[in-house]
Chain A
């Protein structure tokens, strides 16, 4: 082998890219919106639900578009299921705000507009981070949360 003071930095040969791949739609499209908070019920039995809308072209999700209504405790349920079954480090949820649920507050407590908005943003960040994780995408609980009308808490946990 000849020794040379000029280093060989030529690129390795690679296959030319197919134009349909280069200009086609990306195969990693995943968008989840958490919006339209609605407070349902009266008095002490009120709770807030949020609309969770998902659009994707990942083949692992059965529906390419889905729209469901979920409340904070549903998100908590999802977090617990994933912490137990999957090996991922689950990101934190926005706070439980127990202090806001105590009586004798000057404001609306957990039904205060600014608090709901803060929580909405936190839940949107949470679900987007989870749903994009390849290991979380294997769990049945995530698919049930995002794409089924209601959550069956007696489901059999498992992988998709």
Chain B
């Protein structure tokens, strides 16, 4: 009677569970930097960061649950995949990068085994992105082929795309208004900002005939998915920053100094694989006493700067002193002009 129970127990344990476990370990995981990336349901997870052209290497380990029991398989392979997934069209995942390495031909494993792999200088053209309607991700997928169900394991990585300072970075300056009511001139010091940059600008009031209560700057992210007739925009206000409280008068100039490092921003993505775009806009909003809103939207380009070597304290002091000297000279020459 007891022997019968024991046989039943062993059958449940081995027959219904996975007979082997796959594990993917990336070789420089200890030294490589990590980044927090949002998952589809809003949770944040840490992933290893890779850049375009970097080699992805490591080991795949197959661990047998019952050592001694042979494991038959139809082959073991490892894929490196870069994929775009539109949430409304989940059946069609578009792979823009797909590399395969065969780790083992069909056969038998009698004990746990480890396989080395290396994908040399892998092209990673786009940055990883998890958005409202679309997801772009890179991952390694190990597959052990079996008769009924394959055993798979995925290991996701995050890719960052880096840029250097753009050659052309003109300021954004414009005069806008409502006829005979409100005329303003706004200026932002650049049109392309890196993710830890500062937006420096000013709003100059040429004519004010409405009762303004306050003014703010919003950063808006617009995710565009689809093409042709079925284009879909999703707007998200990332930041709201009040720059003025109270009623301005003609001739007044309001400064803007908005530090981007405090917000969750990612680089501008334009027409990624013809599937989606992520663009950023600065929205200048004036609110009057009756809660009426007057606004002007302006697109900016965000880019990711590579890390630079930290300079010594004396080097930084020299740079700061040079800038101070430069501005003092400019001020004194301006005074001469006006006198």
Contact = CB atoms under 8 A, between A and B. Distances in A.
A1 B165 contact: yes
Interface in B234-278: 247, 249-253, 255, 257, 259
Interface stretch (B51-59, B110-118, B201-209): B201-209
Nearest to B324: A10
Interface stretch (B144-152, B215-223, B285-293): B285-293
B253 A4 contact: no
30 contacts: A2-B319, A3-B165, A3-B308, A4-B311, A4-B319, A5-B308, A5-B310, A5-B316, A6-B316, A9-B198, A9-B200, A9-B257, A10-B323, A11-B255, A12-B187, A12-B200, A12-B255, A14-B202, A21-B250, A24-B249, A27-B207, A28-B208, A28-B209, A28-B210, A28-B211, A59-B180, A60-B180, A132-B210, A132-B292, A134-B181
Contacts of A60: 180
B178 A134 contact: yes
Interface of A: 1-12, 14-15, 17-18, 21-22, 24, 26-28, 30, 58-60, 128-129, 132-134, 137
Contact of A15 (B181, B204, B255, B323): B204
Contact of B208 (A6, A10, A18, A27): A27
Contacts of A27: 207-209, 249-250
B190 to A, nearest CB: 10
A130 B241 CA distance: 29
Contact of A14 (B197, B253, B288): B253
A5 B197 CA distance: 10
B: interface residue count bin: 35 or more
A83 to B, nearest CB: 17
Contacts of B250: 21, 27
Task: List 7 tightest A-B contacts by C-beta distance, closest first.
Answer: A21-B251, A14-B253, A17-B251, A134-B181, A21-B250, A12-B202, A7-B198
B252 A17 contact: yes
Contacts of B178: 134
A11 B256 CA distance: 8
B320 interface: yes
Given A5-B316, A128-B290, A134-B181, 9 more contacts: A1-B165, A14-B202, A14-B204, A17-B252, A22-B249, A24-B249, A26-B247, A27-B207, A132-B211
